[in-house]
Structure 1
Amino acid sequence: MQAMRWMMVAAIACGSAVSASAFAAAQQGKAHAGTPLGVDLKGMDRSVQPGDDFDDYANGSWRKNAVIPADRASTGIFLEVFQKAEKRNAQIIREAGAGHPAAGSNARRIADYYAAFMNEAAIEKAGLDPLKPELDKIDAIKTRTDLSRVLGGQLRADVDPINATSWHTEHLFGLFVTQGLEDPSHNIAYLLQGGLGMPNRDYYLKNDAEMVGFRDKYKAYVAATLQRAGMADAKAKADAIFALEAKIAQAQESLVESEDVHKANNPWPASAYAQKAPGIDWNAFFEAAGLAGQPVVDAWQPQAIKGLSALVASEPLQTWKDYLAFHTINESAGLLPKAYADASFEFYGHTLTGTPKQRDRWKRAIGAVNNDLGDAVGQIYVKKYFPASSKAQVQDMVKNILAAFDERVDSLDWMTPATKQKAKAKIETLKVGVGYPETWRDYGALEIRPDDALGNHLRAVAQEYAHQKAKLGRSVDRGEWWMTPQTVNAVNLPLQNALNFPAAILEAPFFDPKADAAANYGSIGAVIGHEISHSFDNTGAEFDAQGRLANWWTPEDLAHFKAAGQKLAAQYDAYEPLPGLHINGQQTLGENIADVSGLTAAWIAYHKSLGGKNAPVIGGMSGDQRFFLAFAQSWRTKTRDAALRQQVITDGHAPGRFRAQTVRNIDAWYQAFDPKPGQKLYLDPKERVHIW
């Protein structure tokens, strides 16, 4: 659900308010009058001991009976909430064309974009024609300077430098625009690695049977795509393309390396690229990318950029041309004739994630409209489904969770007053966006035609690139949103010291104002706490209150913090989602810190909401039992093995099943469920990880 991967969050929800506010008091009053429990009792498996497997205890019966939809790689609470938003978006988009909206209006753009996507006859008739200008540029490459110019012209806006190998992988590089790591006064350009057709470098470099099988099927897919496009010697070209991508993968930095923002702090003068990363004609590249004249372009993954540039010089020009032609087609396969779209799904959907059925075309169309006209749809979404009263209520919740986190900082016995002061300053200046942005994207310059599906998307991509590029040199907008309101997710933005909580995630079962307060705190409260905690995870803690990369820790405090993080990493290293495949605790460390810390803050907030009273017993369960069950049930998931493998290898989040086990680090969970020494989740008090 991804601004830096540590700006991205859990695609799931979180909790309720913190103080004894009128809302919380009302919640407690309802609890005695038969308030909905907010916990799924039927989904539990009481034959499992909570201390052995809390996820199975909370979700075991649900998982045994859950059926993953044929067009999905997984199912769970996230999908339930997503489908609610999807139905709403479908209604918004289909109604946009009613009444013949005026030309140039957002309603007309929405209607025409959707109509074009659904017009399969026009797409079949167009064939590859919409890509002809780009394919002609590639075919005309005669020199390395020509190649450099085409590569620069293909640069696209990226919002995720850490996870750059799964965002815009069809392009050799990506562009990210935000404030300087050490200078928060204005935006600069960051150049990111890319260039792969499979999810990340591990798919090319690991030699287990699954990866070898994926590689063989990928080469077959590349050959079939080239043959379908009428290119001669398709198999030989596919082999050469794969060999080039394997070298690109070898040159790339790993996900863990990309998470180290200190390694990313390389503000190279644009004029120095020729000397620092020889191989590409950087003058031609930056001119074609519209970056000529930029004084600085930060190299986020410097070794990868050096390696990729060297490959531009060393690998055969024809191989590069074939590589570019394939990726130009492959990137647009979903908007090309059915044979291309079906083959793309067969590899990326069926082979790589195990999903047996492609999503219905109307669902894909809804997703495409939301991707390219997100704010246009979002403005309508919040008017219909997120009233001002809801926004005010959630803002109150966030304030209360922030207060709980602030209190938690005060109580840390290992942190010195100097470091506490800096941490509290971050909390005080954190800018939280709830529901929707204060300003909306202007689509006035974007041409949308009712009969040009691929052209619409390509023009939207170009406009997004222009939008990001236009921010260069400007002062930073700390209120900028990186998600649309109809997105079921949330995000932390360390460089902005800001959070976004879109309207669509603030829905039941994540948040239900009619439900028991314990359930709301355990679910949406923990997500709110999670996002706040990202400002203090292993990456967020590197940034100060202004979003500047700066060390604000005393040496002793920093050593304690890092040691606690490594204990948590080791804890997750031991989890084995599939035989022989373990979670990478370092890769998932930021998310795991946020889970532990966010759950702690939400629990504090829940108890503050009780106003000094004891929580009511409902359904035979104490308040804390309901709180922790709601948390675990928010993470209930059932995933196909291939998709689970891909998640473990490529994602910074641990699978939901293991996120539910976060409770083993929370002292209150032990008091609520009384796990015993010797049970699988039990940790001696000295072994529990308490970071914030």
Structure 2
Amino acid sequence: MRHKALLALALVSVPALLAAQAAAPRYGAWGLELQNMDKSVKPGDDFYAYAEGTWLRDHAIPADKVGAGYNYDLPDEIEAQVRRIVENAAARPGDATARKVGDFYAAWMDAPGIEQRGLAPVKPWLARIDAVATRPQLFQLMMRPGYASPINIGISTDADDPTRYMVDAGQARLGLPTRDYYLLSGEKYDAIRRAYRAYLIRIQTLAGIPDAPARADRIIALETRLSQDQWTPEQRRDPVKTHNPMTRAALTELAPELDWTPTLASMGLGSAERVNVSEPSAVAAASKRIGDVPLSVWKEWMTARFLSNAAPFMPAAFDQANFDFYSKTLRGVPEQRARWKRGMALIDDALGEAVGAIYVQQYWSPATQAKADELVADMQAAYKAKIEAATWMDDATRRAALAKLATFDPRVGHPKKWIDYSGLRISRTDPLANYFASADFQWRQQLARFPKPVDRGLWYMTPQTVNAYYDPTMNQITLPAAILQPPFFDPNADPAVNYAETGATTIGHEMGHGFDDQGRQFDERGRLRDWWSKETAAKYTVQADRLATQFDGYEPIPGVRIKGRLTLGENLADLGGLETAYAAYRRYVARHGEPAVLDGLTGDQRFFLAYAQAWQGKRRDEASRQALLSDPHSPDKYRVNGIVRNFAPWYTAFNVRPGDAMYLAPAERVSVWQ
């Protein structure tokens, strides 16, 4: 069989090989946890189970989490590191920023004080809702930080001219995660809607609000009506359809029930001449509802939404009610996380770069920066070679693609300039005030930037975030320090591991977003512009459509399939990242020679196993349901199996043949850059 055949290859002593290295890798002898494999599974039948089957079978999801795996374990480590930073900051009251961090944490951790103060901190916020007497007053209050609205107004980069900011207006999230929860039929969704009603009754009753059941019914009826007019997650992915800049006059014509000019002025946006409306029909429908739904019902809705959003900062009964619905019911999590852990997430939102600056000093090294920069350069070179060799691209589109690649702006580790928190006021006794003070501070920061050119130095993730992102309007990939460590990046691991885990799933993936079905519509300057020839775009679309169809066929939990159109961008980035990282790895091999066999595994086999290891994870069914309805990322298993089965070198590495469950005939495979 194929494993026995591998034994015929010349084997190298792993301990002897590693003795020459300065340090051992974090995982296994050379970067992989081989005990996680289930070798009773044929790689061609279920590669994810082959690579991670023993771990999947034996590893339980912790009671306070939606899932388990490397993408959960590493954030736990970061969380513990951040806790030490926060607690040390609390011991340095002489430093103004450290004092803010310490005071924020102290206020959050003072559960007895929160209980003692009861509803007193909330009452001034609710009184503003009670005082609303007209619809213009209602709309203006909706736009203040801390209050809910069916329409979001914010500031973002202008897709026509990415050197400047513009105002955006679009549909807002309702009380349930997506419109599907209001509209889908079946007992599962009926039960969720009943639980939501019970939750609304519970928090209003706790707040002493009379007639809570009737209010809950009116609130759900309003949200259901709003959800019917909202765009689907798939529709909201289209950068052309969601780019609808219009004058103030056109906006007023679209949504005449809303008093736009004084409302924008009250927000500090009185100088805005244009507004981009991302979902015009949804904004127009929400405007009608603000005009025809009784003012009293809107005030009931705003009150309930405020209580729900503020619940974690209120007495324990509110916090528990919020957890019971949003975590236990909607995501299947049986146990609330420790309070200090929840505090770390709040501090990351409110004072993330204050903590991040210390995190970088303590946990980021110039050596890691240099090695990460080298890998980024190698991936960029591999993408260049792929684009140059792409037979489906005509020369004009190829030149434009190479120009875009050449202007990629990779940012590794941490920002060069940190946020100044001197304007943020933090209370040591009122966590609710701190939460909303942070929201107000962030809004004031955006307002201060609005009349100026776009600041390309801003980061939208903190250095301690285990994630990465691509911004098409900036043509930037951002790789925070936290994700550039084991298991995703280990300078002491086998190169095959790093090329797969960092090269494919992080760097190559984010670069791939520049050419996915969304990112490809932005040019080298970040402008939303069609720079593809019709012929090349048509060939690309055929491949993209086929990948969407493949993923439409996967059913991770009974009755809920992956949405191929919703996840298309991430799936394209996964496939393109894998193809290009493998090419980069083979370039490395060409420079350094064919790697030795380790533990019976060739370099190519280690590459693909490492790719699977990077997606090690399992999730509760209810959390999976929520993600499948709204998350553009496919479940971990399908980010492995759904991708490698399209890639010829994987077939060769594991001798996958017709008759194997994952086998696709060459004509059925999708390729981005092969």
CA contact (8 A) 1:27 1:516 kept: no
Structure 1 residue 466: deviation in Å? 1.2
AA in 2 matched with 1:367: A
The equivalent position to 2:85 in structure 1, one of 89, 92, 102, is: 92
Structure 2 residue aligned with 1:488: 466
1:134 equivalent in alignment to 2:125: yes
1:524–1:471 distance in 2 versus 1, CA, 3 Å: same
1:603 equivalent in alignment to 2:595: no
Structure 1 residue aligned with 2:598: 618
Aligned residues with identical type, % of pairs = 39
1:679 equivalent in alignment to 2:660: yes
CA distance, structure 1, for counterparts of residue 263 and residue 672 of structure 2: 45
AA in 2 matched with 1:685: P
CA distance, structure 1, for counterparts of residue 496 and residue 417 of structure 2: 34
1:291–1:131 distance in 2 versus 1, CA, 3 Å: farther
CA distance, structure 2, for counterparts of residue 124 and residue 273 of structure 1: 45
AA in 2 matched with 1:670: Y
Deviates more, 1:682-691 or 1:539-548: 682-691
AA in 2 matched with 1:675: V
Structure 1 residue aligned with 2:46: 53
How is 1:342-491 mapped onto 2 (pairs within 5 angstroms)? 342-491=320-469
AA in 2 matched with 1:53: D
Structure 1 residue 678: deviation in Å? 2.2
Task: State the TM-score, normalizing by the size of structure 1.
Answer: 0.92
How is 1:294-333 mapped onto 2 (pairs within 5 angstroms)? 294-333=272-311
Structure 1 residue 473: deviation in Å? 3.0
Structure 2 residue aligned with 1:293: 271
Structure 2 residue aligned with 1:660: 640
1:82 equivalent in alignment to 2:85: no
AA in 2 matched with 1:508: P
CA distance, structure 2, for counterparts of residue 28 and residue 155 of structure 1: 57
Structure 1 residue aligned with 2:112: 121
Aligned residues: 652
Structure 1 residue 189: deviation in Å? 1.2
Structure 1 residue 444: deviation in Å? 0.3
Instruction: Spell out, residue by residue over 1:226-248, the C-alpha distance to the aligned partner (whole angstroms, 9 max, x if none).
Output: 11111110000000001101111
Structure 1 residue aligned with 2:559: 580
CA contact (8 A) 1:37 1:619 kept: no
AA in 2 matched with 1:142: A
AA in 2 matched with 1:370: D
Structure 1 residue 125: deviation in Å? 2.4
CA distance, structure 2, for counterparts of residue 29 and residue 87 of structure 1: 32
Structure 1 residue 155: deviation in Å? 7.7
Instruction: Spell out, residue by residue over 1:524-575, the C-alpha distance to the aligned partner (whole angstroms, 9 max, x if none).
Output: 1112100010011000000000000001111100001111000000110111
How is 1:207-356 mapped onto 2 (pairs within 5 angstroms)? 207-356=185-334
Structure 1 residue 29: deviation in Å? 7.8
The equivalent position to 2:651 in structure 1, one of 667, 670, 681, is: 670
Structure 1 residue 28: deviation in Å? 13
1:405–1:568 distance in 2 versus 1, CA, 3 Å: same
CA distance, structure 2, for counterparts of residue 347 and residue 184 of structure 1: 40
CA contact (8 A) 1:155 1:175 kept: no
CA distance, structure 1, for counterparts of residue 121 and residue 368 of structure 2: 44
Structure 1 unaligned spans of 5+: 1-25, 157-169
Structure 1 residue aligned with 2:612: 632
Does the residue aligned with 1:470 lie in a helix, a strand or coil?
A: helix
CA distance, structure 2, for counterparts of residue 140 and residue 28 of structure 1: 73
The equivalent position to 1:544 in structure 2, one of 507, 511, 523, is: 523
Instruction: Spell out, residue by residue over 1:361-391, the C-alpha distance to the aligned partner (whole angstroms, 9 max, x if none).
Output: 0111111111100000000000000022221
Higher relative contact order (CA 8 A, sep 6+): 1
Instruction: Spell out, residue by residue over 1:300-351, the C-alpha distance to the aligned partner (whole angstroms, 9 max, x if none).
Output: 1111111111100111111100000111111111111111001100000100
1:560 equivalent in alignment to 2:551: no
Does the residue aligned with 2:573 lie in a helix, a strand or coil?
A: helix
Instruction: Spell out, residue by residue over 1:141-195, the C-alpha distance to the aligned partner (whole angstroms, 9 max, x if none).
Output: 2222221221233488xxxxxxxxxxxxx43222342321112231111112114
Does the residue aligned with 2:30 lie in a helix, a strand or coil?
A: coil
CA distance, structure 1, for counterparts of residue 296 and residue 328 of structure 2: 31
Does the residue aligned with 2:543 lie in a helix, a strand or coil?
A: helix
Deviates more, 1:590-599 or 1:89-98: 89-98
CA distance, structure 2, for counterparts of residue 195 and residue 394 of structure 1: 37
Structure 2 residue aligned with 1:644: 624
CA distance, structure 2, for counterparts of residue 314 and residue 489 of structure 1: 43
AA in 2 matched with 1:687: E
CA contact (8 A) 2:146 2:436 kept: no
Structure 1 residue 438: deviation in Å? 1.1
CA contact (8 A) 2:615 2:640 kept: yes
AA in 2 matched with 1:629: L
Task: State the TM-score, normalizing by the size of structure 2.
Answer: 0.94
CA distance, structure 2, for counterparts of residue 302 and residue 671 of structure 1: 49
Structure 2 unaligned spans of 5+: 1-16
CA distance, structure 2, for counterparts of residue 408 and residue 97 of structure 1: 51
CA distance, structure 1, for counterparts of residue 579 and residue 343 of structure 2: 40
The equivalent position to 1:690 in structure 2, one of 641, 653, 671, is: 671
1:134–1:269 distance in 2 versus 1, CA, 3 Å: farther
Structure 1 residue 282: deviation in Å? 1.9
CA contact (8 A) 1:155 1:171 kept: no
CA distance, structure 2, for counterparts of residue 254 and residue 558 of structure 1: 25
CA distance, structure 2, for counterparts of residue 146 and residue 538 of structure 1: 41
Structure 2 residue aligned with 1:164: none
CA contact (8 A) 2:143 2:149 kept: no
The equivalent position to 2:141 in structure 1, one of 147, 150, 166, is: 150
AA in 1 matched with 2:65: R
Q: CA RMSD in A?
A: 1.8
Deviates more, 1:447-456 or 1:351-360: 447-456
1:506 equivalent in alignment to 2:484: yes
CA contact (8 A) 1:71 1:356 kept: yes
